[in-house]
Amino acid sequence: MMFGGSLKAISSILLCVTLNGVKSREVISKVIKLDKALLCDSSATYRKALIFILVQVIVVHSYEAALFICDTWVWTHAVDNLSVWYFISGYPHRTLNMQTTLEFSDLVLLIRNRLQALNSRLSFMLRECVEPDFVVFSNVTRELVPRSAVMANEIPVTGVKSVKRTFIGSPQHVNLRQPLFKISQQRNIRSARELYDEMCDIRDLANSMYGFQLLLELGVTTAELTLSSYLMLATILGIQSVEINTIGQFISLMAAWQVQYAFKLIIITAPCQSATNEVENMAVLVQKLLLVRDFDQGTVAELQLFSQQLLQRKMKFTAFGFLSLDHSLLFTIVGGVTTFIVIAMQFKA
């Protein structure tokens, strides 16, 4: 397992030197382009992201440092003639692997947050069309309404430059039987399609940059989680004897390692699943927008193309094309580890 972790660390370094430098610059340029079109206050978003990353790095690596110190102290006092350098030499690659995993997780969370912003824009379009609390008028039809029925304030719709919202003071003054116009959102839907395409490009870059490292990380972490869980449970049940004065120290140490392994698996799969869920919500919003009767033909055509785009370019993250990174993978790993431990305990007993 130490060999697997070292192999992953070496592959991470080689990929960063040879390929990931160019791809990282491409990701940054695409994110900047995406944020200019999507975010209202990008500087505030960047400040929050920077604070989150700093807190994340401090907490995770502080936990790692405490774990490494505890691990070295327990084993050097338990086993005679075991040099401390044997353990210290195995820690740098673990730190590098954890940092690579955090980078991938943060990039996926960035994509997830931009998908949420795009969903908010689509949701606003939908509410604008289906809510009965207001009626949208063109410049021509608005003149047909008595001025006494129209309030003085006209609120421009955020992100929708071609439509204004006009509030009606008394619905009795307006004939609401059939709209005399069609709403055009063609430009806005086209913009949403382009933004989603940029996010898919960033997804492809993330898969190519981190796919191989994640495949190795998943294999090594699963093996380490299985071994540590077996040793801890076997020690508790008295099946495995441990040459440590205090069994509680060994159990606590194994539990601390398991927390780190579980954390790795969660930060790999959970952000990917949340990004996939956002795309599913986006597909629902597009289908609801297609049911709006007041859209013109150009808007309907763009919505149909958007629906096809969501089917053909799914937000799917993979580990080098072998494993889909989602909750099903996490549940499969947990089920496999549990099954192995149960069978191993039966043979040992």
pLDDT in tens, 253-274: 999 999 999 999 999 999 999 9
Q: Is a pLDDT exceeding 80 seen at residue 100?
A: yes
**C-alpha to C-alpha distance for 102 and 210, rounded to whole angstroms:** 11
Q: pLDDT (tens digit, 9 = 90+) per residue, 284-335? A: 999 999 999 889 999 999 999 999 999 999 999 999 999 999 999 999 999 9
Which residues contact residue 107 at a Cβ distance below 8 angstroms, ignoring those fewer than 6 apart? 27, 202, 206, 210
* Residue 47, token pair as written in the block: 């400040």
**C-alpha to C-alpha distance for 248 and 74, rounded to whole angstroms:** 11
Please report, as a single letter, which amino acid is at residue 203.
Answer: R
Q: What is the percent of the chain with per-residue pLDDT over 70, rounded to a whole number?
A: 75
Helices and strands (H and E) in the chain: how many: 10, 4
More confident of the two residues 96 and 59: 59
**C-alpha to C-alpha distance for 102 and 108, rounded to whole angstroms:** 10
Q: Which of 285, 303, 308 is closest to 128 using CA atoms?
A: 285
Which residues contact residue 281 at a Cβ distance below 8 angstroms, ignoring those fewer than 6 apart? 119
pLDDT band at 19 (very low <50, low <70, confident <90, very high): low
Classify residue 271 by burial, with Cβ atoms within 10 Å: 0-12, 13-18, 19+.
buried
Q: Which of 274, 263, 282 is closest to 326 using CA atoms?
A: 274
Least confident span in 27-41, 210-224, 228-242 = 228-242
pLDDT, the chain, mean: 82
Q: Is a pLDDT exceeding 80 seen at residue 280?
A: yes
Q: pLDDT (tens digit, 9 = 90+) per residue, 143-193? A: 444 444 444 444 444 444 444 444 444 444 444 444 445 678 999 999 999
Least confident span in 85-94, 135-144, 207-216 = 135-144
Give the pLDDT of residue 93: 84
Write the CA distances from 159 to 156, 164, 191, integer angstroms. 9, 11, 11
**C-alpha to C-alpha distance for 85 and 337, rounded to whole angstroms:** 31
321: left (phi over 0), alpha (psi -120 to 50) or beta: left
Q: What is the percent of the chain with per-residue pLDDT over 90, rounded to a whole number?
A: 58
Reduced to 3 states (helix: H, G, I; strand: E, B; else coil), residue 193 is helix
pLDDT band at 346 (very low <50, low <70, confident <90, very high): confident
CB atoms within 10 A of CB 260: 18
Reduced to 3 states (helix: H, G, I; strand: E, B; else coil), residue 318 is strand
* Residue 306, token pair as written in the block: 């958007």
Give the pLDDT of residue 90: 74
The pTM assigned to this predicted structure is 0.81
DSSP code of residue 149: G
Give the pLDDT of residue 250: 84
Least confident span in 30-39, 137-146, 324-333, 338-347 = 137-146
Q: Is a pLDDT exceeding 60 seen at residue 204?
A: yes
Q: Which of 257, 231, 259, 265 is closest to 333 using CA atoms?
A: 265
Give the pLDDT of residue 21: 78
